[in-house]
Structure 1
Amino acid sequence: MRKPPYAYIPTSTSTNTTHWHTTRPRRGRYGNRPEGGDELPFRRNRHRRDDNRGSGRYLKERKKDVRIIGVDPRWLDIQPRQKGMSLEEALKKAHPPYLVEGIGEDILPETVDLSLVDDMVVVNDQESFAMTRFLARKEGILAGGSSGAALYGTIKYLKENGVEGKKAVVIFPDTGRNYLTKIFNDKWMLKNGFEIDDEKVLEVLR
């Protein structure tokens, strides 16, 4: 098939640069000041690899104490790393069962720069879906399961590490439009063994 004239398909490599030039200054305005100011724990899903390299690189260039925290499904990184394995080795060996979509795939693209990731937070399906549903019901934000994972992971990390008085940026990488018959459907949730009392699940974050 011949390449159509005047057509351009952006690659992850090109979007790395785009994120560095566009996405990162917006985040920078909301808390990442080059002189002093608060540490910015930067929350994201690991599989958004272009955003990781573009925005992450920019933020760390501007402020050395910024921490970038990845969020992924349960058992993806935590078990192998407990045995002294590096993050790269852990990802290669990770084959967990999970239903949350868009993150956690056992593929490590070349565009991922793991040197920018300071730590990983493990979030399971139940936690991801409960937060996703809570966002829609309480905040009117129709986001996908990976977005719920990102927010749950943010709060979990801040709580477990006793972080207070800092600014955190959370990326919601997916819309909930594609999950109306899944995550937002009580019958689907119950059929797959999930609790549908979202606030009960999220109680541990209080």
Structure 2
Amino acid sequence: MQYAENILGTIGNTPLVKLNKVTEGIDALVLAKVESFNPGNSAKDRMATKMIADAEADGRLKPGGTIIEGTSGNTGMGLALVAIIKGYKLICVISDKQSKEKMDILRAVGAKVVVCPTDVEPTDPRSYYSVSKRLAEETPNSWYVNQYDNPSNAIAHYEQTGPEIWEQTEGKITHFVVGVGTGGTISGIAKYLKEKNPKIKIWGIDTYGSVFKKYHETGIFDENEIYSYITEGIGEDILPKNVDFSLIDGFTKVTDKDAAVYTRKIALEEGIFAGNSAGAVVKGLLQLKEHFKPEDVVVALFHDSGSRYVGKMYNDDWMRERGFLEVEVTKAEDVIKDHIEKPLIVARTEELVSHAIERMRKYKISQIPVMDITGFVGSLDESDLFQSYVNDTKTADRPIREIMGKPYPVVQLGTTIEAVSKLFSRENDAVLIDLGNGKHHIITKYDIIGSIK
């Protein structure tokens, strides 16, 4: 009989799959190492097992102990599988930008999940780096994994994933391409492959908002490069010890939109239900295509499964809200289609300014049309109100007609975006669209900007 002693025995030996449609235009054989075939559905199962085994061996992790780690979700899943089999407790500290699916899955396999804000400095006590360290200090008989600086992370891929790729390609691999986060995957695999053949090129996929590409090219850690981004699993605002830049030949950066769009394309065109970083990798491959020749064998690693992103990249509403769906926008009504059913918020000429301020605050709007019995006769916006207050602190008690500006222009259904855009100026912050039957809706500069692809 053939069977594994437990689920950990099924980790590794994931397949290489030829990519056909999403890599059209690349003159090389492109193969994906599909790591979602691991039991925890990601490449992180490999290093989770290795890190725990090494910690047990040198006494850092003791029987009945608590494992604590800051994770984007996949490492947590790998640690959870090992914790279940070996009888450990697990606390996963995760940033709030990670998908709800990742958090729910971690809880389902017994992990305690602590959620921290994304948009804080790594040294901020609220960051998931800081919270992880604090919990490890406060929790008796605990071990802080620290996958970013833990050498067992890279060693796992040096011992397992690298040799698998070499054997599966019969040593014919010429390029390896992968998203870079903790650095363990790229560094471990690169070390093994370059020992076998120093001519193999290693490319890292980075994201905008991350420091890797510029640091690799200049040696400068530029804090101006750090800002919030959507893509999960790759990029960092720190330099993990596991990233061995000497083994990496180059980086290319991929936008959040391209990563999300190509994640869906992989599923639709290749039948591979892969995660967000796989989309970034495929777009990165296309950006690097001039580096590949027809005789080359390019291996790209797909870190995880699309099941982690059902509520995000695979959700039309989520994609549409961020402008990631390719929707043709040509007419005035197209830019407001997502909220065209909402009623128009207006003010009346004889109302007090305080009433308009309260309405703008309640509905979180910056401008408001003003009406009387004849129709639209004026407008109010934040700048009008601010200037009036500077001139007269009792502005709030005055009637709106005394400080209102000119009425907004009105356009008809079918008016082109180009024509609407020309109506905006320093003096005019909005346009009204006539929907018929006495109904109108407002188009703001924000709506126009949001339609730009």
Q: TM-score, normalised by structure 1?
A: 0.78
- Residue 16 (str. 1) matches residue 154 (str. 2): yes
Rate the CA distance shift 1:77–1:4 in 2: closer, same or farther, 3 A.
closer
Query: Which of 59, 72, 88 pairs up with 2:206?
Result: 72
Taking only the aligned residue pairs, the percentage that are identical comes to: 31
Distance 2:206 2:158 in 1: 23
Counterpart of 2:47? none
8 A Cα contact 1:77 1:120, kept in partner: no
Deviation at 1:45, TM superposition (A): 0.9
8 A Cα contact 2:203 2:251, kept in partner: yes
Query: Which of 173, 176, 191 pairs up with 1:57?
Result: 191
Counterpart of 2:313? 183
Return the structure number with greater relative CO, CA threshold 8 A, min gap 6: 1
Q: How does 1:1-206 map to 2 (within 5 A)?
A: 3-5=62-64, 12-31=150-169, 33=171, 40-74=174-208, 76=210, 80=214, 86=218, 88-90=219-221, 93-158=224-289, 160-161=290-291, 163-196=293-326
| Partner deviation per Cα, 1:41-100 (whole Å, 9 max, x = no partner) | 11011114111221110111110110100001136469957xx961x4246652134211
Stretch deviating more after TM superposition (180-189 or 14-23): 14-23
Ranges in structure 2 where 5+ consecutive residues have no aligned partner? 1-60, 65-85, 89-142, 328-453
Q: TM-score, normalised by structure 2?
A: 0.38
Deviation at 1:32, TM superposition (A): 6.0
Counterpart of 2:67? none
8 A Cα contact 2:205 2:254, kept in partner: yes
Look up the SS of the partner of 1:120 in the other structure.
strand
8 A Cα contact 1:189 1:196, kept in partner: no
Count of residue pairs the alignment pairs up? 188
Distance 2:170 2:210 in 1: 30
Deviation at 1:192, TM superposition (A): 0.9
8 A Cα contact 2:190 2:202, kept in partner: yes
Look up the SS of the partner of 2:220 in the other structure.
helix
Rate the CA distance shift 1:3–1:80 in 2: closer, same or farther, 3 A.
closer
Distance 1:162 1:169 in 2: 12
Distance 1:101 1:46 in 2: 11
Distance 1:174 1:118 in 2: 24
8 A Cα contact 1:32 1:40, kept in partner: no
Look up the SS of the partner of 1:165 in the other structure.
coil
Q: Structure 1 counterpart of 2:318, which letter?
A: W
Look up the SS of the partner of 1:42 in the other structure.
strand
Distance 2:222 2:282 in 1: 22
| Partner deviation per Cα, 1:137-181 (whole Å, 9 max, x = no partner) | 1222111111110122123212x3353320111011122112111
Distance 2:185 2:217 in 1: 25
Distance 1:112 1:106 in 2: 13
More strand, by proportion: 2
Counterpart of 1:201? none
Ranges in structure 1 where 5+ consecutive residues have no aligned partner? 198-206
Look up the SS of the partner of 1:187 in the other structure.
helix
Distance 2:222 2:274 in 1: 26
Rate the CA distance shift 1:41–1:48 in 2: closer, same or farther, 3 A.
farther
Distance 1:40 1:185 in 2: 36
8 A Cα contact 1:20 1:58, kept in partner: yes
Distance 1:178 1:164 in 2: 34
8 A Cα contact 2:260 2:313, kept in partner: yes
RMSD: 2.8
Distance 1:63 1:91 in 2: 33
Look up the SS of the partner of 1:43 in the other structure.
strand
Q: Structure 1 counterpart of 2:203, which letter?
A: I
